Structure 1
Amino acid sequence: MNEKNSAAEKQARGKGARYIYEELKREILTLELEPGAPLDETTISHRFAMSRSPVREALVRLSGDGLVEMLSNRSTLVAPIDLVGFPRYVEALDYLQRINTRLAARNRTEADLAAMEAEAQAFDAACRENDYLAMSATNRDFHMSVAAAGKNPYLARSYERLLDEGRRMLHMHFDYIHSSSSDRLLSSDHYDIIEAIRARNAGEADKLAHEHTRQFHSRFMEFLHARYDNDFDFDVIAMAQQS
């Protein structure tokens, strides 16, 4: 009887940790929880009416995702967005995006192409709903479907970590594009990449992947400058401009 109770408690705690994880992740990715915001275990446990154990499990998982920082003094913060390191981030993203897309052009199957098309359509649907969280998720899923077609799990895992790390920046990127009268969220970029992969044209796939990354870089820098023009925090924008 005690063993059954223990198993039931463990299952309930696991579900609780998963729920807390999903809620906090959503709030971090949508910037409801701002970068650097403290995450107090006691406060969170009261909020969700759960013990501190599932809260701790959720925070450890978020730390593994790179979304929170667990400090040596046992305090936990929402991970900052490293604007100083943004150029190095884009450099790494560009390399991994290009190599995974090149490999996809060489190794793809018909099933891979179908998966890419489904993910591209899911991204378009999220854009029409103006759902930034779904947009960043489906954008990630599209690019990971490309990486899966490349058949190199080591490169795909590194790429996945960068895509996840950049989702908060992508959220700001989407917001800037949506508010701009001269730019559009919906484009043919994903479908152009698919067609190059379909044609097994590794050079064209590489070129399109590179252009896709540079477009993200340019738009994000435009966002930072636009925020600066609207009295954005000087120290933050100055760090970005050091690049």
Structure 2
Amino acid sequence: MADELEPKRARGTGWKSVYDTLRSEILALTLAPGQLLDETTLAERFDMSRSPVREALIRLAGEELVVTLSNRSTIVAPIEVASFPKYVEALDIAQRMNTRLAAALRTEADLKVIAKRQKEFEAAVRSENHLAMSEANKRFHMAIAEAGKNPYLASFYERLLGQGQRMLHLHFEYLERTHEGYLLTDEHNLMLEAIRDRNVERADALAHAHTRQFQENFINFMRENYMTDVSLNPLSAAE
């Protein structure tokens, strides 16, 4: 009878707790890029069989947060500096297009959601929790994308934002340590104003500047911490 009163994990949902925990640890860099993720060790850690662990790793692989090697080992996805120029080029295009569309098509309800997400980001900044900041930043930009009313562009943008969260974590760390630049809040507010004013061209320019700031600070972080010379083809100013 006592056993019947104990809460039971819903069948097929065990992977979710593993996924949520590992995703947070990967994005916060608690699990370092390249770190081995052994199924047996993880199963022991989470006190469950290997099947839900494997399911969690499959889902993380779908988000490109983990990589399965040729020997079938799984590691935390490396942060590929060499591919950063292509990544930031795609991010710039997606960010500009979604922000332009939001400025052209937003409703009053959309503005309220964007403003709410910006307040949440500001609260995350005050908490000094980098993972909370990157998650809140993503929600802010996705609120803009949803205001643009193009689910294909929004989906592409969401994937890029997710892939960039670990780099954004380093970006925040660099800014807080050096006090060079600022933590995006001013640019977020300016973007919101441009969207509110339906100023498409200003929204575009601000979105582009936003990407450039992220790029420049990430490059500076990598030069300071890992290499003496980094040439990553910085984005040109918006026309």
TM-score (norm: length of structure 1)? 0.89
Aligned partner of residue 209 in structure 1, secondary structure = helix
- Runs ≥4 residues deviating over 6 A: none
Aligned to 1:206: 204
Aligned to 1:52: 50
Aligned to 2:37: 39
- C-alpha distance in structure 2 between counterparts of 1:69 and 1:19, whole Å: 20
Per-residue CA deviation, residues 42-81 of structure 1 (Å, 9 max, x unaligned), is 0100111110011011001101111001234321111111
**Residue in structure 1 matching 2:95, options 94, 97, 112:** 97
How large is the Cα RMSD of the aligned pairs? 1.8
Q: How many residues align?
A: 228
Instruction: State the 1:188 CA deviation.
Output: 1.4
Q: Is the 8 A contact 2:35 2:76 kept in 1?
A: yes
Report which of the two has the higher share of helix. Answer: 1
Q: Percent identity?
A: 52
Aligned to 2:3: none
**Residue in structure 2 matching 1:78, options 76, 79, 85:** 76
Consecutive unaligned residues in structure 1, runs of 5 or more: 1-7
Q: Is the 8 A contact 1:103 1:149 kept in 2?
A: yes
| Change over 3 Å in CA distance of 1:242–1:87 after alignment to 2 | closer
- C-alpha distance in structure 1 between counterparts of 2:232 and 2:149, whole Å: 37
Q: Is the 8 A contact 1:127 1:186 kept in 2?
A: no
Aligned to 2:120: 122
- C-alpha distance in structure 2 between counterparts of 1:17 and 1:185, whole Å: 34
Q: Is the 8 A contact 1:101 1:197 kept in 2?
A: yes
Q: Is the 8 A contact 2:219 2:232 kept in 1?
A: no
- C-alpha distance in structure 1 between counterparts of 2:133 and 2:93, whole Å: 23
Consecutive unaligned residues in structure 2, runs of 5 or more: 1-6, 234-239
Aligned to 1:5: none
Instruction: State the 1:9 CA deviation.
Output: 7.9
Aligned to 1:222: 220
